[in-house]
DNA sequence: TAGATTGTTAATCGATTAACAATC
DNA sequence: TAGATTGTTAATCGATTAACAATC
């Protein structure tokens, strides 16, 4: 349907615009020009205008952008105007940390289930939800409407569970496991590879050290 | 000193090469060609050769790359051959999750301290380290050699603490707080904005839905 | 030696920045 | 109307892919 393909780079920047606009709203700023915003965000006004115009003309010549309007529109583009039921697979520290992120629910990401393999955890409540056994997952998926699955399981288990998720019609996986999931094209996977992020940091640190040896 | 500037895109790919090479080693694969590796990783052989040649000629014509050698060399480039003492600021679920990542220590990222504001947590042991009060941080930094600080504090507190870290000579911050830190140029900041990652997922989900309405 | 595959240069593609006419 | 600032086209820059000579 949509033919105009929007680049990944643009999409990755949208949530950051959204965050800055939210802060401007908190500061009761009513309007902002691409130039002012570019200074705040350490980017170029040109990029901001180009990015936004992928989705429509949200501004007004001679005026700039209405902060509240732009915030709402970017929210819609990001799909934050609808509820996304989600489940967490893996109730370890990371899974529990994500379960307790208050901001998520505020943005429409509603946690409806949390699962683990460890029988010791069964029935323990996290954010008002009792931890269920992973073996109950297929049944749960058939009985409930779930959009997003968060994978905070170890590598092997994650791979296995990804297959089960796909079989049961899950269309989006937020993957924290250290592997690249092999899923059909119509399943959206967003990876968070924490160790890779830390290695990037380490690279920059090492490079800096090398360049500044006395 | 070093003048050849290596692009951020290349650096972001290095940890992924490192991961795949590690898996190949586990499978006892001795050598691999850029072409074979490109198929495994869903990228192009050309990109792999270009990326690696930023750092030197690690391969051999007619043979390919020795897996173990390349793994070790990329490890060195990423600074994984030295120990990086690090501290965690924020002993909530996320901080504790990161503290318990076994893989980090294996790669030289050695946790030497964990701090929080909450007095209730004081003295509780996480991975063999007693949680300390954030007020003790400046003293700790003067007495101990710390390279990396992991920020898993809420926004406001994170901003305040970043200043203290910089004042006390910390050169690298792994930032999980939902804000862009304002730090001097010689301080390396690597951001993990989880909510932005989830919004990207949400965008793709919404777009997919729009394109497939019955 | 012949075959394979790298390292590297050249061509293409895409993303960012600059410029400016349109318009509020 | 004059000034400001967008939306958009054109120019530049950088990154990816293709091609091939070098060489193991």
pLDDT of residue A4: 67
Torsion sign (Cα): A4, A8, A9, A14: positive
Contacts of A186 in chain B (CB under 8 A): 208
Q: Give the separation between CA B158 and CA B170, rounded to whole angstroms.
A: 14
Looking at chain B, the whole-number percentage of residues with pLDDT higher than 90 is 93
Between residue 80 and residue 109 of chain B, the positions with Cβ below 7 Å from nucleic chain D are none
- pLDDT in the model for residue B92: 95
Average pLDDT, chain A: 95
CA angle at residue A18 from A16 to A24, to 5 degrees?
105
Q: Would you give the DSSP letter of residue A62?
A: T
The answer to whether B179 touches B159, Cβ cutoff 8 Å, is: yes
- Tokens at A195, concatenated: 């160790």
H helix or E strand, kind and range, residue B102: helix B102-106
- Provide the CB-side half-sphere exposure for A42 (13 A, CA): 4
What mean pLDDT comes out for the span B116-120? 97
CA angle A161, B13, B37 (to 5 degrees): 75
Per DSSP, the three-state class of A191 is strand
Q: Is the CB of A16 less than 8 angstroms away from the CB of B207?
A: no
How large is the greatest C-alpha to C-alpha distance in chain A, in angstroms? 65
Token pair of B206 as six digits: 């919404």
Question: How many whole angstroms separate alpha carbon B190 and alpha carbon B176?
Answer: 9
Q: How far is the CA of B22 from the C1' of C9 (A)?
A: 31
C-alpha to C-alpha distance for B172 and B177, rounded to whole angstroms: 15
Q: Is the pLDDT of residue B106 over 90?
A: yes
Q: For residue A1, what are its two tokens?
A: 């349907």
Bridge-partner residues for B87, per DSSP?
B113, B149
pLDDT (mean) for B166-194: 96
For chain A, positions 27-66, list CB contacts with chain B under 8 A: 42
Q: Where are the alpha helices (DSSP H) in chain A?
A: 8-26, 34-41, 45-53, 67-77, 93-99, 102-106, 137-143, 155-167, 194-211
Binning pLDDT at 50, 70 and 90, where does residue B1 land?
A: very low
Average pLDDT, chain B: 95
Span between the terminal Cα atoms of chain B, in Å:
60
Are the beta carbons of A198 and B174 separated by less than 8 Å? Answer: yes
Q: What is the pLDDT of residue A2?
A: 43
Check whether domain A84-196 has CATH 1.10.150.120, yes or no: no
What are B109's strand-pairing partners? B84
How confident is the model over A197-209, as a mean pLDDT? 95
The answer to whether the C-beta of A4 is closer than 7 A to strand D is: no
pLDDT (0 to 100) of residue B4: 67
Residues 6+ apart with CB under 8 A from B3: none
pLDDT digits (tens, 9 = 90+) for B83-104: 999 999 999 999 999 999 878 9
Q: Chain C positions under 7 Å from a protein CB?
A: 2-9, 14-19, 22-24
For residue range A44-102, what is the model confidence (pLDDT) as tens digits?
999 999 999 999 899 999 999 999 999 999 999 999 999 999 999 999 999 999 999 87
Q: At what angle do helices B67-77 and B8-26 cross, to 10 degrees?
A: 140
Question: Which of A16, A100, A188 shows the shortest C-beta gap to B196?
Answer: A16
Burial grade of B24 (CB within 10 A; 0-12, 13-18, 19 or more)? buried
The domain spans of chain A are 8-77, 84-196
- Rounded-to-integer distance, Cα B98 and Cα B111, Å: 10
For D24, which residue's CA is nearest its C1'? B61
Average pLDDT over residues B112-135: 97
Share of chain A above pLDDT 70, in %: 98
Stated as kind and residue range, the H or E segment containing B8 is helix B8-26
> A20: buried, middle or exposed (CB in 10 Å: 19+, 13-18, 0-12)?
middle
Q: Is-contact A148 A88, C-beta < 8 A?
A: no
pLDDT, tens only, A93-148: 999 999 998 789 999 999 999 999 999 999 999 999 999 999 999 999 999 999 99
* Fold (CATH) for A8-77: Arc Repressor Mutant, subunit A (1.10.10)
The sign of the dihedral angle between the CA atoms of A138, A144, A148, A150 is: negative
Residue B56 region by backbone torsions, left for phi larger than 0, else alpha for psi between -120 and 50, else beta: left
The phi and psi torsions of A42 (rounded to 5 degrees) equal 55, 50
pLDDT level of residue B60 (50, 70, 90 thresholds): very high
């Amino acid at each position: 349907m949509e033919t105009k393909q929007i680049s990944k780079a643009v999409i990755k920047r949208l949530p950051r615009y959204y965050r800055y606009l939210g802060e401007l709203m908190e500061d009761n700023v009513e309007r902002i020009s691409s130039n002012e915003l570019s200074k705040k965000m350490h980017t170029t006004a040109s990029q901001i205008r180009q990015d936004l115009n992928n989705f429509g003309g949200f501004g007004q010549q001679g005026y700039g952008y209405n902060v509240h309007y732009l915030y709402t529109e970017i929210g819609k583009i990001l799909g934050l105007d609808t509820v996304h039921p989600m489940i967490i697979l893996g109730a370890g520290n990371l899974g529990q940390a994500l379960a307790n992120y208050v901001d998520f629910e505020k943005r429409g990401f509603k946690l409806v289930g949390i699962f683990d393999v460890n029988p010791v955890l069964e029935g323990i409540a996290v954010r008002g939800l009792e931890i269920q056994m992973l073996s109950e997952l297929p049944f749960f998926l058939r009985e409930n409407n779930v959009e997003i699955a968060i994978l905070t399981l170890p590598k092997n288990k994650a791979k296995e569970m990804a297959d089960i998720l796909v079989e049961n019609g899950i269309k989006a996986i937020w993957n924290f496991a250290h592997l690249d999931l092999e899923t059909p094209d119509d399943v959206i996977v967003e990876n968070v590879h924490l160790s890779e992020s830390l290695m990037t940091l380490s690279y920059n640190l090492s490079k800096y050290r090398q360049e500044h040896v006395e």
